[in-house]
Structure 1
């Protein structure tokens, strides 16, 4: 089994990355393969509502000038999905939004290709906006008929500055438990 974790932060090894890595490391100890895919900082285009994915069942977006089709294929091939984003002005990063819009459009229009794959949002924030960002990411999972994996609290990591993730003891525990719960759910679905 494999889980793809999309890092929507432009900081490749920042707070969001480490939040995702904590959950992934926990899954790895339980025999689940994980891969963190860098989305943040990539030159991605938003959905242009061209209708290509409604008419062509090739699991691809018509925009072929960026890496989004590679991300879509990874998500379709995964057994579970994590999407992580820092908070930018009370919401997700633009790259995370592009991922959600285009991934959601292609997979829903091609027969709900993410259906029954567990998903979870992971958010890092300095001081506010985390609940809205968390909800916004989870809308993809709900609209795609994906079960949402939970933890002991909302999946937030509070970090005031770069690499402050280690200071949030509750966040550390939340991310580890998220990884444990994702592994548990994947194991139950495999039975």
Structure 2
């Protein structure tokens, strides 16, 4: 099985990445293939609402002059997707918003191609606004008929400078629990995905 984490922060090695790596660790220990990709700071632009994905139905965005389709291909391959973002004015980063809008629309256009996959949101925050960013990611997961696991608290960690979040004991413990829940859930649902209800 394969778990993909995508870092929506342009600050590599920062708090969002620290949280994502903590969530991936128990999944890898459970024997899954894991990968961390960086979308923050990369060339991924917003949806232009051309709706060509509904005409083409090729599991790709029709806009091919940026990196979105590289991320989308990995998302479609994954059994579990963990999307991480910093909190920017109580919401996700611009690159994460573009990823959500475009991957979500391509999924809808292709019979909810993300349905049945596990989706988890992870948010790094200095002080406030993390719950809204967390919801923004989960809204796409839920509309795509993905399975959103719970953990011991909302999946967020607190910090300002790079790796400050490692000092948030509750947040880091939650990431470990989230990873263990994802590994357990994946093993539980994988044999039954072929019978997932049609749209």
Please say whether Structure 1 and Structure 2 have the same fold, judged by a TM-score greater than 0.5.
yes
The residue number in structure 2 matching 1:113 is: 113
The residue number in structure 2 matching 1:77 is: 77
The residue number in structure 2 matching 1:161 is: 161
The residue number in structure 2 matching 1:16 is: 16
Instruction: State the Cα distance separating 1:146 from its structure 2 match.
Output: 0.5
1:24-71 deviation per Cα after TM superposition (whole angstroms, max 9, x unaligned): 011011111110110000121100000110111111111111110011
Aligned length: 191
Instruction: State the Cα distance separating 1:102 from its structure 2 match.
Output: 0.3
Q: CA RMSD in A?
A: 0.8
Instruction: State the Cα distance separating 1:189 from its structure 2 match.
Output: 0.9
Structure 2: unaligned runs, 5 residues or longer: 192-199
| Residues 121-160 of structure 1: pairs in structure 2 closer than 5 A | 121-160=121-160
Q: TM-score, normalised by structure 2?
A: 0.94
Rounded to whole Å, the distance in 2 between the matches of 1:67 and 1:43 is 6
| Residues 165-176 of structure 1: pairs in structure 2 closer than 5 A | 165-176=165-176
Q: TM-score, normalised by structure 1?
A: 0.98
The residue number in structure 2 matching 1:51 is: 51
Question: Secondary structure in 1 aligned to 2:57?
Answer: coil
